[in-house]
Amino acid sequence: MKKSLKRSLFGVSALAMTVAAGCGQDEAESGDADQQDSGDTQETEQEEAVDQDPGELVVYSARNETFVDALLNKYEEDTGVEVQALHGANPLQIEEEAGNVQADVFISNDLGALGYLERQDLLEGYDFDGIDSIPEDFRSDDNEYFAVSARARGFIYNKDMISEDEMPTSSEDLFDPKWADVPNGYAVTRGGNGGMTGHVSALRHEWGDEKTSEWVESIQENAAAITQGHSDIRRLVGQGEHAFGLVNNYYFHQQLLEEEDNVGFLYLDQGEDQMGTVANAAGAGLVSGAPNEENAIGFMEWLLEPENQVEFVGESLELLINSEYGVEYPEEVEPHIVDFDDLKVQDMPITELGNYFEDTQDLIEQSGLDLDLR
């Protein structure tokens, strides 16, 4: 029972004793007592309303605004907590605001960014209810962050322009300048895109910095287009502006819902002697010193509920890590869904990406690929 409610009951009891002692007083005094009792009740109700105010939650997100808004709208409806969202956030903003923390939760489409923040002690660990539903490979040791959905890298291609047999099959293939000569060339994203940063980090782990830097130089020189994001690539390839592009798999899924849907997809490095596709994941982290810590913890635990893990995937059409929770994909997409466990994936824990994040962005810039479009 809330403290304000206890005070109210004490006031009502005292009032009753006073009325009993002065039962011989006139009706006017009785009426005054009724009015006082009514006033006390209204005051109690106001106090309870204040006590029950669910407060707010500040979310910084580097994930597509459309996908995140649907998730946060559901959270507001389920809990009554008012969400303030900053979209297009950069993990370095969390670092810059460490002395004056603004965010409660950081949502990222790159586990490397979350891992970087954890290494800088900018995320807080907590024993969340439901955390055991997330495999250990997809969460940090002390649960400062966890992933909900996974994606893998590959080539989306226009079937009218190039056949599957004519396509490159690995990251290493892009060293060859011949791919610049395919019809209308190929497309990649800017270096600061989360998917590209994670990809280069994975190559650094696999090849070392020197070879990886040469790879970045090659794609910068040979790509016909360098775009802001993967959505641009899928549309350009679907429209026949380029023969193929390097993207995360769920952008292929999204393109299947467009009018220009004559596209295919090749997961990278699936051959016997190849390293396996580069994988990454999207998830959330609890910001250290969160101004609304109770709601931040509540949000993280809410997100771990099965139906909300499904909501996290939403229209992105990513792969849900816990596929048994039953994401429903459109009929055009369903036949093309490949379970994450059925892919040959690079032999590197995804949580290792955080160890490379900061230096990777430096390497990308030094190799000539701009982090942002100029």
The verdict on whether residue 325 carries a ligand-binding annotation is no
The verdict on whether residue 251 carries a ligand-binding annotation is yes
| Reduced 3-state DSSP string for the chain | CCHHHHHHHHHHHHHHHHHHHCCCCCHHHHHHHHHHHHHHHHHHHHHHHHHCCCCEEEEEECCCHHHHHHHHHHHHHHHCCEEEEEECCCHHHHHHCCCCCCCCEEEECCHHHHHHHHHCCCECCCCCCCHHHCCHHHECCCCCEEEEEEEEEEEEEECCCCCHHHCCCCCHHHHCHHHHHCCCCEEEECCCCHHHHHHHHHHHHHHCHHHHHHHHHHHHHHCCEEECCHHHHHHHHHCCCCCEEEEEHHHHHHHCCCCCCCEEEEECCCCCCCCCECEEEEEEEEECCCCCHHHHHHHHHHHHCHHHHHHHHHHHCCEECCHHHCCCCCCCCHHHCCCHHHCCECCCCHHHHHHCHHHHHHHHHHCCCCCCCC
Q: Which residues are annotated as a binding site for Fe cation?
A: 250-251
From the annotation, which residues make up the binding site?
250-251
